[in-house]
């Protein structure tokens, strides 16, 4: 039976990418060696790394003055690295609090300067995207573009007149981005780009070198820029799989085509949630995520019955985050609309039997 993978992360990868990765596990680029054991200084790897850089620049239309980095540590490491590199002790940064990950980013940034919460949806358990209340006196505004736990997503950039910093871990390459509005974009790969183990950073060079503190060498973005993301041994396998995934995005029409594909999947599921009397959405309609649909049953006592039905249909990873409950359907780029159709079919069958 075909599996329909709705896990929030590590998340679904294109079948083509998995096949090519499988082959390279045994023989990378005709070297007779696994991609997991080659030297990161070998010409075959350098060519792969260059291609990964090129694909990021092409797919996201990175302007002049920005650098692309592949780092380790996940998006969580960027919670402190971003503030360490961009915020002086005497300065104020604005943060929009939309849930779990932005709250963690706020905590880490407070180690390096003053943090001003310029918007929050905590009052309603993060079920909407808040407006910016006051952005006066801040150096930059930080936001989490898509919230995997609660199922909200910024449809427009925050309304501020300062540079933006964005955690785009779960919707990178899913829609077009105005890079010029940002001084820094970062994302863990394991939602929509590749497997866990590599972190993508896009940074405006002119924003760096302005803090007065000493920064440890390996935590300074300028170090990694100067060494082409190979100051230390890079995570070769995750970068390779991410490169293959970006190539798949390009081959399938690029970011604009991914956006159309994702909107169609999300619309199909949200239409059923709204139509079906047994289900309810958790999030304000205008702020619903195209990546992570969070919803539940009006009668939660039948939750296990519904989950049994999804498992019988080959659906995995549908349970909601423990802090929210209900269900969460993560529909990243690599998911075919067929999988969403299967989920919707189960929802309809459930309604016919128990409605």
Cα dihedral 75, 81, 86, 91 in deg (nearest 10): 100
**141-144/92-97 β-pairing:** parallel
Which of 190, 167, 159, 2 is CA-nearest to residue 80? 167
Q: How many angstroms separate the CA atoms of 312 and 300, rounded? A: 20
Peptide bond into 184 cis (omega under 30): no
Distance CA 173, CA 80 (A): 24
Identify the CA nearest to 180 among candidates 60, 273, 96: 60
Rg (CA), the chain: 21
**167 belongs to the catalytic site:** yes
Q: Which of 67, 139, 167, 183 is catalytic?
A: 167
Rounded to the nearest 10 degrees, the angle between the axes of helix 100-109 and helix 74-86 is 40
203/44 Cα distance (integer angstroms): 27
Catalytic hit among 45, 67, 101, 220: 101
Q: Which residues contact 211 (CB under 8 A, 6 or more apart)?
A: 84, 85, 86, 87, 88
Strand 146-147 with 152-153, pairing = antiparallel
Q: Of 157, 124, 133, 155, nearest to 143 (Cα)? A: 157
Q: What are phi and psi of 224, to 5 degrees?
A: -75, -30
For the chain, give the number of residues.
355
Specify whether the CB–CB gap between 327 and 292 falls below 8 A: no
Query: What value, to the nearest 5°, has the Cα angle with vertex 348 and ends 345 and 353?
Result: 125
3-state secondary structure of 279: strand
Active-site residue, selected from the candidate residues 175, 191, 204, 265: 191
Question: What 3-state DSSP class applies to 49?
Answer: helix
Q: Are 116 and 247 in contact (CB under 8 A)?
A: no
- Residue positions annotated with a catalytic role: 101, 167, 191
């Amino acid at each position: 039976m075909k599996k329909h993978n709705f896990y929030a992360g590590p998340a679904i990868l294109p079948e083509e990418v998995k096949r090519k990765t499988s082959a390279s596990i045994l023989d990378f680029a005709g070297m007779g060696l696994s991609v997991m054991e080659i030297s990161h200084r070998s010409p075959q790897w350098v060519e792969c790394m260059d291609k990964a850089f090129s694909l990021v620049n092409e797919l996201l239309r990175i302007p002049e003055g920005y650098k692309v980095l592949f780092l380790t540590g996940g998006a969580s490491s960027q919670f402190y690295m971003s503030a360490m590199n961009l915020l002086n002790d005497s300065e104020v940064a604005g943060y929009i609090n939309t849930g779990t990950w932005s709250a963690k980013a706020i905590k880490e940034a407070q180690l390096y300067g003053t943090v001003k919460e310029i918007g929050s949806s905590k009052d309603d358990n993060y079920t909407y995207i808040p407006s910016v209340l006051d952005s006066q006196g801040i150096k930059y505004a930080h936001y989490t573009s898509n919230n995997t736990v609660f199922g909200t997503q910024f449809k427009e950039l925050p309304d501020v007149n300062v540079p933006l910093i964005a955690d785009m871990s779960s919707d990178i390459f899913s829609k077009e981005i105005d890079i010029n509005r940002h001084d820094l974009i970062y994302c863990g790969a394991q939602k929509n780009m590749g497997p866990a183990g590599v972190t993508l950073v896009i940074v405006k060079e002119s924003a760096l070198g302005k803090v007065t503190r000493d920064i440890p060498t390996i935590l300074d973005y300028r170090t990694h820029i100067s060494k082409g993301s190979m100051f230390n041994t890079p995570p070769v396998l995750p970068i390779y799989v991410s490169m293959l995934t970006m190539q798949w995005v390009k081959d399938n029409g690029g970011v604009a085509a991914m956006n159309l594909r994702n909107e169609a999947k999300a619309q199909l599921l949200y239409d059923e949630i709204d139509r079906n009397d047994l289900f309810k959405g958790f999030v304000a309609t205008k702020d619903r995520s195209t990546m992570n649909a969070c919803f539940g049953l009006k009668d939660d006592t039948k939750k296990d019955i519904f989950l049994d039905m999804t498992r019988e249909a080959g659906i995995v990873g549908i349970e909601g985050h423990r802090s929210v409950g209900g269900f969460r359907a993560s529909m990243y780029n690599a998911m075919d609309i067929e999988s969403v159709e299967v989920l919707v079919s189960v929802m309809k069958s459930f309604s016919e039997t128990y409605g």
